[in-house]
Structure 1
Amino acid sequence: MPTLKDKTKELDVVIGFRVKQSRLRSGVSQEALGEHLGITFQQIQKYENGKNRIACSTLVMIADFLKVSALFLLRGTEKDAGALPQARDTASVEAVDLLSQLPPHSKAAAINTIRALHEATAGAPNAEAA
C-alpha cells in the first residue's frame, strides 16, 4: 500500500510534468523560466522531474509567466498520478520538444499531419499497438 510520502512524490512528478508540458507549449526555455523566477535552469529541471517540490507561490509565478492557470497545473493531479507512466511516455515528451522547436508555419503543418495520421488509424484494428 502506498504511503503518504509515496503519494506526495507522485503528485510532485505529475505537477512537474504539467509545468514542463506548459513550458514547451509556450516555447519557453528552462533558462528563460529560471531567469524569470531568479533560479537556475537546473532547479527548473528538478521541478519538472519531480525531484524538488514546487512551492505554491512559485507555482503561481510559473503559471503567470507561462500564461496558464495555476489550477491547470494542479487540476486532476490525484487521478493523473495513477496514469503517470502514460503521461511520461518518452516518445510523447520528445514529440512535444520537437514541435516546440519548429517555426510556427512548420508547427501547424506537423500538427495537421499528426491529426490526419490519427484520424486514419483511429478506427484501424490494433491501432493501439502502433
Structure 2
Amino acid sequence: MSDDVDALVGRQLRRRRRLLGLTQSQVAEAVGVRFQQIQKYECASNRMSASMLWKLACVLDVDIGYFFAGARRPTETGPDERRAFELYARAA
C-alpha cells in the first residue's frame, strides 16, 4: 500500500514527463534506470530515494518542491509520530 505523498510525487512525475513530451524510456535512460522503474515511481508502487528525486528534478528541469506541490501536512499526529518526537527531543 502506498502513501498519499508517494502517489502525489508519482502523478507529478508523470505530468511533467508528459508535458515535456518524454517517454518513460527517455527519462529512465537519463537517470540510469530501466523504464519499468519509472513506471513503478509513477504509480507509487516504489518509493524514490532523495538522490533519485534530485536526478529526476534535474532531468525534468523543475525544483524538488514541484513534486510536492499540493501536499498537506497531517492535521494530527498519531502515537508513533509523538513517540518519535519525544525520543528526538530527549536526544537533543
Common topology (TM > 0.5)? yes
What SS class does the counterpart of residue 72 from structure 2 fall into? helix
Q: CA deviation at 1:31?
A: 0.1
Matched, 1:47 2:44: no
Q: CA deviation at 1:38?
A: 1.1
Quick one: which of 58, 62, 65 aligns to 1:68?
A: 62
The one-letter code of the counterpart of 1:37 is: V
The one-letter code of the counterpart of 1:28 is: L
> Which structure would you say has the larger Rg?
1
Quick one: which of 26, 36, 44 aligns to 2:30?
A: 36
Q: CA deviation at 1:68?
A: 1.2
Q: Which consecutive residues of structure 1, in runs of 5 or more, have no partner in the other structure?
A: 1-5, 80-130
* Distance in structure 2 (CA, Å) of the matches to 1:77 and 1:20: 16
Higher relative contact order (CA 8 A, sep 6+): 2
Counterpart in the other structure of 1:22: 16
Superposition CA RMSD, Å = 1.6
Matched, 1:59 2:53: yes
Q: State TM-score, norm by structure 2.
A: 0.72
Q: State TM-score, norm by structure 1.
A: 0.52
Q: CA deviation at 1:58?
A: 0.6
Structure 1 runs (4+) deviating above 6 angstroms are none
